[in-house]
Chain A
Amino acid sequence: MRVRIEPFDVEIEVPAGATVLEAALDAGIDYPFACQQGQCGSCKSILIRGRVDMGTTYNPLVLSDAERRRGAILACQSHPLEDCVVAVVEIGGVVAHPQRHLRCTVESTEARADGIAIVRLAVHSGGPMTFAAGQSAELSAPGRAPLTAWMANLPDDDTLEFHLGPQAGQWCAGMDVAVTGPAGDAYLHEEHLGPMIGVAEGVGLSGLLGIFGQALACGMRQPMWLIVAATAYCPERLQALAAGAANLRIVAVPEPAHLAEQIAATVGDARGTRAYIAASTATRAAVRQSLIERGMASDCILEHLLPGA
């Protein structure tokens, strides 16, 4: 069978009985791998086209049924049943989920405080889209300027959820929306061993709901702080996130201007901590300075640019 490996842009022959990983390594491709027997998840990839036989002996802790439904495979377990296209999702330590162009319909919208709307989209075609928690996508609808927003849902969820600010205009159930993505490099680092801090302003919270939700879902148990400003728009989501997560502390401040000082009060020593900031330019600068003053390495600060800010 012929298997095209993206984004290496090569096509290989996978002999009968061989796995995609074996054939790729034999072809000299620097495919990520470790155990070669479905136990570690290092070679997790996306099957973009075609069918593979994965058998049943892999470790379900490293590839969930939900992930499989979204097209994830373990290359070391995959025997192609026909010609396939496979995408490696990590190259040189950076995630590289394949780009998707989805046709969606607005399933529901909820108007919330501060002119913010929570919009859920059902995917009709082009999917499923795989992404790392904290990534964004571009939304476009007829007669509107395209806008960028973060996925607030977890990567395994079937419905896409976005939190849109007042500048995004009105969104109604039944509207057709084109979604292109994923994009962005401020995604969750599941391999990070130290504490995590999230700082959000306004709809910036949406990306952090994805990041912290996924972190807890995948078993990260280190201390986590989520410091949020002006987020009266979805208190129930914060409560749901905190429920049952003894390692997560959520602190709300009334104004974005208070975020930096709240960091000073909450986080004494930020060495070894990784930060995810989703806020306006002015707020990000102050927060960043506060974290660096507390010993955080600058390359441990991942920033989301708040749309419209």
Chain B
Amino acid sequence: MMSQTMIDNPDAAHGRKSAPFRMRTVEPGPDPADSFGLFTSAAVYDPYPFYARLRERDPVHWSERAGAWLVTRYREVFDLQANSELSVDRVETLYSYLPQVRRERFSFVIEHYTRWLLYRDDAYHDRLKLLFMKAMTPRAVELMKPRIAARVAEVLDTLAGREHFDAYLEFAARIPVLVMLDLLGLPSADEQRLRHWSDRCSNFLFQPVNPDREAMAEEQRRILDEQQDYFMAHITARRARPGADMISAMVHAEVSGERLTDLEILATCNMMATAGGGTSRSAISLALMNLQRFPDQLARLVAEPERINLAAEEFLRFDAPTQRGIRTARADFTLGGKTIRRGDILHIMIGAANHDPAAFADPERLDIARNPNRHATLGHGVHYCLGASLARMELRLAVAEFLRRYPDYAIDAPDVEFMDRTASRRLTGLPVVVRQA
């Protein structure tokens, strides 16, 4: 599948002898009972051939391994995303991430995650959700644009003079954390701390292929303790002297006449850092990686930077940072000829839907001018991505400014590696070589 995307790009390496960037070709497995090998490291590296096989052979597929239905066609994914009869409550799934032995030791970890807005179905915090929507409308995000642009420039300035750096760890991974610090009103000095928490919490939520459940639960215990120490001080300070930030807004918000509790505010801060940080950093770094696989598209975007808005939609379609959404059926229904029972878990396979040839012409090609481009990455309906506008803005500004400064960057490694999980796409690093001005 990848053969047409492999490139030799000697010019970009500025005369150095550098191996061209290639992605390995991977093949799905033969066994439907094994979901054609979807839960293997080959699929972590490149899930799209595996999705294609599932989509063609068994588009609503029962996976014993996941204990869930895997839904891979765009049509069904789109409908399910809009279906408010599906629950996003993940208590049961999250409990399954805990160690089998004396699981109740860690029930407070699950209680923390049940306070996250994105795992709530009920009217819990309709007002909090409204507060969020207001802070995240296209207008609000547009007003944040100068600050985000300044953060992008500030991070790129720290790389001035270096020909080799890691465009994931030293650029893409920093932007969303700094933006989130600004949004929450927290000091820049806490970047590393917030990033560490965000990394580790998303590791817990997205679960590695072969997790050490005891160690992960212990780590969660430690992080939640640290977060209490950290956030409670900030929450108390904002109660005394509010600023123009989300913590202040939450401290003063009322939900049906009641104030949010400190633990709800803490959980929301962690949700913003984790959900907003991990996905945006992936979106930015995957865009830079994928542009290298399609040099004609890279050249076009460098020459016509005003195309960045449409290009950003294509980056989101082509390699969605979150590859699946998890829902629970609240009633029996039929989907793609299969009977889904109340209580069944469904995995809405976003990455698979985004590469469905029934919805996107030539889906394995990155086309920065693709329009229309109704990808499934940010969802839609009741459980759409609350940070969608912010994610778009970060992606547009970060990629555009990176290309403006380093139009001839090249990947400085024979291959890239992904973190060991199938529910999201996260690079472990993206070494690049650039020509400094």
Residues of A within 8 A of B (CB): 22, 25-26, 28, 30, 32-37, 39-42, 61-62, 90, 92-95, 189-195, 219, 221-223, 247, 269, 271-274, 300
Contacts and interface: CB of A to CB of B under 8 A. Distances in A.
Contact of B244 (A41, A95, A193, A221): A193
Nearest to A41: B133
B71 interface: no
Contacts of A195: 242, 244
A90 B389 CA distance: 14
A39 B384 contact: yes
A94 to B, nearest CB: 8
Contact of B139 (A30, A36, A93): A93
Nearest first, the 6 A-B pairs at minimum CB distance are: A93-B142, A194-B244, A272-B243, A191-B140, A272-B244, A35-B384
Contacts of B384: 34-37, 39-40
Contacts of B82: 37
Given A39-B384, A42-B389, 8 more contacts: A28-B371, A30-B309, A37-B82, A37-B380, A41-B133, A191-B135, A191-B139, A222-B249
Given A192-B244, A221-B252, A272-B244, A39 B381 contact: yes
Given A30-B309, A37-B82, A219-B130, A191 B382 contact: no
B248 A272 contact: yes
A90 B139 contact: yes
11 contacts: A26-B372, A35-B380, A35-B382, A37-B82, A40-B384, A42-B389, A93-B138, A93-B141, A194-B245, A221-B252, A300-B244
A194 B242 CA distance: 6
B380 A191 contact: no
B143 A93 contact: yes
B243 A271 contact: yes
Interface size for chain B: under 10, 10 to 19, 20 to 34, or 35 or more residues? 35 or more
B388 interface: yes
B253 interface: yes
B203 interface: no
A193 B142 contact: no
A17 to B, nearest CB: 14
A197 to B, nearest CB: 12
Given A93-B143, A194-B243, A272-B242, A222 B252 contact: yes
B335 to A, nearest CB: 19
Interface string B249-272: 100111000000000000000000
A82 to B, nearest CB: 24
B139 A193 contact: no
B244 A274 contact: yes
Nearest to B249: A193
Contacts of A36: 380-381, 384
Contact of A193 (B135, B241, B372, B380): B135
B3 to A, nearest CB: 32
Instruction: Output the residue of A34, A93, A192, A300 with the most chain B CB within 10 A.
Output: A34
Contact of A247 (B131, B252, B374): B252
A34 B388 contact: yes
Interface string B317-347: 0000000000000000000000000000000
A41 to B, nearest CB: 7
Interface in B123-171: 126-127, 130-131, 133-143, 145
A279 B309 CA distance: 41
B134 A190 contact: yes
Nearest to B313: A25
Nearest to A25: B372
Contacts of B246: 193
Given A34-B384, A39-B381, A93-B138, A194 B127 contact: no
Given A272-B242, A272-B244, A191 B381 contact: no
Given A39-B384, A272-B242, A32 B133 contact: no
A30 B127 CA distance: 28
Given A194-B243, A271-B243, A272-B242, A34 B252 contact: no
A28 B185 CA distance: 35
A41 B242 contact: no
A191 B245 contact: no
A297 B137 CA distance: 22
A28 B380 CA distance: 19
- The residue among A61, A193, A272 with the most chain B CB atoms within 10 A of its own CB is A193
Contacts of A193: 135, 244-246, 248-249
A37 B139 contact: no
A61 B310 CA distance: 31
B372 to A, nearest CB: 4
Contacts of B185: 272
Contacts of B142: 92-93
A243 B9 CA distance: 69
B137 A221 contact: no
A221 B138 contact: no
Nearest to B241: A269
Contacts of B127: 219
B252 A223 contact: yes
A110 B127 CA distance: 38
Nearest to B378: A34
Contact of B137 (A22, A34, A269, A273): A34
Given A194-B248, A221-B252, A90 B138 contact: yes
Given A41-B133, A90-B139, A193-B135, A34 B242 contact: no
Interface string B370-390: 011010000011101000110
A211 B242 CA distance: 20
A280 B372 CA distance: 51
B138 A42 contact: yes
Contact of A273 (B141, B244, B252, B309): B244
A54 B343 CA distance: 32
B192 to A, nearest CB: 24
Contacts of A37: 82, 380-382, 384
A210 to B, nearest CB: 18
B237 to A, nearest CB: 12
Contacts of A191: 134-135, 137, 139-140, 143
B244 A223 contact: no
A182 B138 CA distance: 22
A28 to B, nearest CB: 6
A30 B138 CA distance: 11
